[in-house]
Chain A
Amino acid sequence: MSEGSAGLLLKAFLKGRVPPPGLIPEGLLYGFAGISSARSHLSGLTNIERLITTFCHREPDHVPCFPMISGAGRRLTGVSYPEFSQKPEAAAEALLAGFDLIGGEAVVPMLDLSIEAADWGQTMVYPEHSTPHPDYADPLIKDVDGYERLKRIDFKKANRMQAMLETCRILVREVGWKGLVSGFAFGPLGVLNMMRGANHLFRDCVNYPAKVLKAIEAITEVAIEYVEAQCDTGVQAVALDTLFASWNGLSKELWEKIEGPFARELANAVRRRGCVVVVHNCGDGVYFDSQIRFMEPEVITFAALPDDCRDRKELKQKYGDQVVLMGYVDTPLLSYGTPYDVMEECRRQIEDLADGGGFILAPGCEFPPNGPLENALAVVKAAEMYG
């Protein structure tokens, strides 16, 4: 362990925070996980014990759960969506309410997918009861030459990203040892999508890859600063969303050319700070193999099976030893199913994926912002009952 790591570990302990797991010597971490796993037969584990045991692919007392209450949390504290998205105190309060009232082992500020794009200058729309989004009638990049005109922004003056950092700081301070806090950043292609629109970007990736890459390079430079700054707030993990590494996005070959190398840089930046690299997905047929090759994540979240797996058992067999699997309760089920239906689906997923550790029960994507919160409670309850 380097002197720097030891100093950071000590600093985290003194401030009453969970240190980034990557700073803890591996032997110590796995020893701790082994002891926790053994102890789980006698008594319940704390949230942190349960997560570390899971990260080390050992069986905890029950599977950890992350209900991904983000936008839905605003309904617990009565704030509007625009306030939730733009005011760090309001966002943190809503997220903490979700963590305290619904439960689970972790909290992540998935405020919306337009934070970075807004700071790059994209005109935004902030609906009262729905997720903020770009004004697609006024994209920042209006033609293919616009990619090369994109000039690096001053990260220190990036209001929404700075607000996100403040949200992370509050969450880290308030959550303390009760759970894990993860940052969140959109991959560079996702950010570009918010400024160009998928209709054009998909075509441009094929027809003008060199121009697209220019913009991706500029976005990645700032994104690295952004994820490093998130790590410096004291979060223990950062989730990176590479949405287009799936059947809903580019071909595998094209993703590996356009975003893969830049996603690797982001993942490395997170890892250098000792934080856990989480890859977040909400597409169909995700390219797990490419994401693992380029980003080497500890955790992959998913909403549907990867492109090379026919069923859950194959997923567990193929990837269960390589990454912690986190998913994947269906959004429509969470929106309109009964709590009993939700619990039954969770039970089936736990049966197929939890054996041997390395599984976190969670919705496939953010819990539906206007969905029934009793279904979020059902996910947490299922983890405790069946996990």
Chain B
Amino acid sequence: MTVEKGNETVVHDLAEAVRAHDERALHALFDDASTSGMTAPEVRRALIGGLEEVRQNLMSNDASIPDFLLSLDRVTEGLGRLSRFPGYDRSSVEDTTVVIGVVEGDPHDLGKNVIAGIYGAYGYRVVDLGREVSRETFVKAVVQEGAEVLALSAMMSTTMVVMRDVIGEVRIKSPGTLVIVGGAPLNDVLAQAYGADGYAESAITVLEETERLMAGS
């Protein structure tokens, strides 16, 4: 005889599986969640709850980047399976569009990938343009997608200068779009000098910075 788990237990275990980036446990727990009648928003909250704990641990250096990446993988997989649960409505979650990419000439996309994953997990609609993205491609995507946020990444001091041109062009073609920049050779002073609205010191602080910008503060 199998004993059905209560919703609270499943929520706890789902979050724990994300924290421990335990793929096998997560698969089994999805069956439990389904059996116990959980809704898509409930499952989503459980997954994000686990990720949020890892993110907070990363901010306090009690977790490492590999830990966070693997937990993010579990959440991304989990979110991809939400459609089988009642109450699933993708559009109600993804109400803010973020266009993201690494600037031209720069092939380093780890930070960008983490940020894109975080945005996706926390309910943003993400248009990921990849790496070595030209100014024209950024501008076109921002306009076409009606992006509220443009997130630019550069990891080299030789490529970060491109950001200024991209931001200048976006200001003309899509003045309402908020621009946030990040990457190893940047800091807040430089971000401001380039004309960005915000600066994400790390992939982990990008959410707070985006929320601050969206709130207009």
In the bound complex, how far is the Cα of B193 from the Cα of A129, in angstroms?
23
Answer whether residue A32 sits at the interface, using C-beta atoms and an 8 A cutoff: no
Stretch at the interface among A6-14, A196-204, A293-301: A196-204
Q: Are A332 and B190 in contact (CB under 8 A)?
A: yes
Q: Are A203 and B109 in contact (CB under 8 A)?
A: no
Q: Are A335 and B67 in contact (CB under 8 A)?
A: no
Q: Which residues of the partner chain A approach B161 to less than 8 Å between Cβ atoms? A: 370
Q: Which residues of the partner chain A approach B113 to less than 8 Å between Cβ atoms? A: 199
Partner pick for B64 among A129, A135, A250, CB 8 A cutoff:
A250
In the bound complex, how far is the Cα of B114 from the Cα of A122, in angstroms?
25
Q: Are B187 and A330 in contact (CB under 8 A)?
A: yes
Q: Are B64 and A131 in contact (CB under 8 A)?
A: no
Those 5 A-B pairs whose CB atoms lie nearest each other, nearest first:
A251-B64, A368-B157, A130-B158, A202-B66, A198-B110
Q: Which residues of the partner chain B approach A135 to less than 8 Å between Cβ atoms? A: 107
Q: Which residues of the partner chain B approach A335 to less than 8 Å between Cβ atoms? A: 157, 160, 185, 190
- Identify the closest chain B residue to A206 (Cβ): B66
Answer whether residue B134 sits at the interface, using C-beta atoms and an 8 A cutoff: no
Q: Which residues of the partner chain A approach B21 to less than 8 Å between Cβ atoms? A: 206
Of B69, B113, B193, most buried by chain A (CB within 10 Å of CB) is B69
- Mask: chain A, 230-263; 1 = CB below 8 Å from B; 0 = not: 0000000000000000011111001000000000
In the bound complex, how far is the Cα of B9 from the Cα of A236, in angstroms?
62
Partner pick for A203 among B63, B73, B105, B184, CB 8 A cutoff:
B73
Given contacts A136-B131, A370-B157, A370-B158, contact A202 B65 (CB under 8 A): yes
In the bound complex, how far is the Cα of B159 from the Cα of A222, in angstroms?
32
Q: Are A202 and B69 in contact (CB under 8 A)?
A: yes
Q: Are B158 and A369 in contact (CB under 8 A)?
A: yes
| Chain B residues close to A by CB (< 8 Å) | 21, 61, 63-67, 69-70, 73, 105, 107-110, 113, 131, 156-161, 184-187, 189-190, 193
- Mask: chain A, 203-224; 1 = CB below 8 Å from B; 0 = not: 1011100000000000000000
Partner pick for A254 among B64, B184, B189, CB 8 A cutoff:
B64
Q: Are A368 and B158 in contact (CB under 8 A)?
A: yes
Answer whether residue A345 sits at the interface, using C-beta atoms and an 8 A cutoff: no
Distance in Å from the Cβ of B207 to the closest Cβ of chain A? 18
In the bound complex, how far is the Cα of B113 from the Cα of A203, in angstroms?
13
Given contacts A368-B158, A370-B158, contact A205 B189 (CB under 8 A): no
Answer whether residue A148 sits at the interface, using C-beta atoms and an 8 A cutoff: no
Chain A: interface residue total (CB-CB under 8 A): 36
- Identify the closest chain B residue to A341 (Cβ): B189
| Chain A residues close to B by CB (< 8 Å) | 71, 125, 127, 129-131, 133-136, 197-199, 202-203, 205-207, 247-251, 254, 282, 285, 307, 330-332, 335-336, 368-371
Distance in Å from the Cβ of B73 to the closest Cβ of chain A? 7
- Known contacts A202-B69, A250-B65, A282-B184; can you find 8 more A-B pairs with CB under 8 A? A130-B158, A130-B159, A202-B66, A206-B66, A331-B184, A368-B158, A370-B161, A371-B157
Q: Which residues of the partner chain B approach A247 to less than 8 Å between Cβ atoms? A: 61, 64-65
- Identify the closest chain A residue to B160 (Cβ): A335
In the bound complex, how far is the Cα of B67 from the Cα of A330, in angstroms?
28
Q: Are A130 and B105 in contact (CB under 8 A)?
A: yes
Given contacts A127-B105, A130-B105, A368-B157, contact A249 B65 (CB under 8 A): yes
Q: Which residues of the partner chain B approach A330 to less than 8 Å between Cβ atoms? A: 187
What are 8 A-B interface contacts by the 8 Å CB criterion?
A125-B107, A130-B105, A133-B108, A135-B107, A136-B131, A202-B69, A332-B185, A336-B189
Q: Which residues of the partner chain A approach B110 to less than 8 Å between Cβ atoms? A: 197-199, 202
Q: Are B61 and A307 in contact (CB under 8 A)?
A: yes
Q: Which residues of the partner chain B approach A248 to less than 8 Å between Cβ atoms? A: 65
In the bound complex, how far is the Cα of B189 from the Cα of A199, in angstroms?
29
Partner pick for B109 among A130, A136, A206, A336, CB 8 A cutoff:
A136
In the bound complex, how far is the Cα of B160 from the Cα of A369, in angstroms?
12
- Identify the closest chain B residue to A252 (Cβ): B64
Distance in Å from the Cβ of B82 to the closest Cβ of chain A? 23
